Amino acid sequence: MHFTDQLWQQITPLYETIVSHGFVQELAAGSLPAPKFQYYIQQDALYLTDFSRALAQLSVKASAPADILQFTEFAANAIRVERILHETNFDLYNIQPETQKKPACFAYTNFLLAMTATQSLAVGAAAVLPCFWIYREVGKYIHAQSRERNPYQAWIDTYAGDAFDQVVGQMLDLTERLANEASSAEQEKMQEAFVQSSRLEWYFWNDAYQLTDWLV
């Protein structure tokens, strides 16, 4: 079995918990209250900036020119996604930029930056993989469920499209290759990093759904 298939097997119950979460269900149904979507978009803009920096850190760790190119392209693309997010969603849904990271965004971005700075290329790649992969699967799920005239259609189209599908395929191939070159101790660390980021994906949706703020 491919290493990346084993990774997905490890998070299958967690993935089911994500797609059955109120945020994802109501986004698909078009009934998600606007303040929850606004919170999510504001936090996601902050997330994407650091996500791009995490990918740039991986490009520094890569040695094959093709891998350096791949990670710098992913990093540049995350900033482009963020620009589109600002230009379309902020206008479309009348959202004001936010500067403060709420708990899940704070935890997730710091985890990604720490893993990509202090761990190997393979472990760092495993840490960023759920961002690509879970979004592709959630995107497809929502697209299949989505009703006509969904107010969140612009968001849905970003992640259910063919262009995004291809990007995720490239990231999966790259991670698979890095895993095959890694020791079994390192593969274990890759699994841990992958599961931890997947958990934080759930927390990210959940914070938006609960409109979570710092308690102190």
Among 8, 23, 37, 74, binds ligand VIB (CB under 6 A): 74
3-state secondary structure of 183: coil
Q: Which span sits near ligand VIB by CB under 6 A: 1-9, 63-71, 73-81, 112-120?
A: 73-81
How far from 10 is each of 111, 134, 186, CA to CA, in Å?
19, 13, 16
- Minimal distance, residue 91 CB to ligand VIB, in Å: 18
153 lies in the binding site for ligand VIB (CB under 6 A) = no
130, 197 contact by CB (below 8 A): yes
Q: What is the length of the chain?
A: 216
Q: Which span sits near ligand VIB by CB under 6 A: 22-30, 41-49, 93-101, 109-117?
A: 41-49
How far from 166 is each of 61, 145, 213, CA to CA, in Å?
23, 22, 36
Helix axes 121-145, 3-19, angle to 10 degrees: 40
47 lies in the binding site for ligand VIB (CB under 6 A) = yes
Interface of this chain with ligand VIB, residues 12 to 31, rule: CB under 6 A: none
Among 131, 174, 179, 190, binds ligand VIB (CB under 6 A): 131
32 lies in the binding site for ligand VIB (CB under 6 A) = no
* Rounded Cα distance, 136 and 161, in Å: 9
The pair of three-digit structure tokens given for residue 25, joined into one six-digit string: 């269900």
Residue-wise DSSP of 31-49: ---HHHHHHHHHHHHHHHH
Among 18, 27, 58, 78, binds ligand VIB (CB under 6 A): 78
Among 77, 88, 196, 206, binds ligand VIB (CB under 6 A): 77
81 lies in the binding site for ligand VIB (CB under 6 A) = yes
* Rounded Cα distance, 96 and 167, in Å: 29
39 lies in the binding site for ligand VIB (CB under 6 A) = no
Chain residues that interact with ligand VIB, rule: CB under 6 A? 44, 47-48, 51, 74, 77-78, 81, 131-132, 135, 167, 201, 204
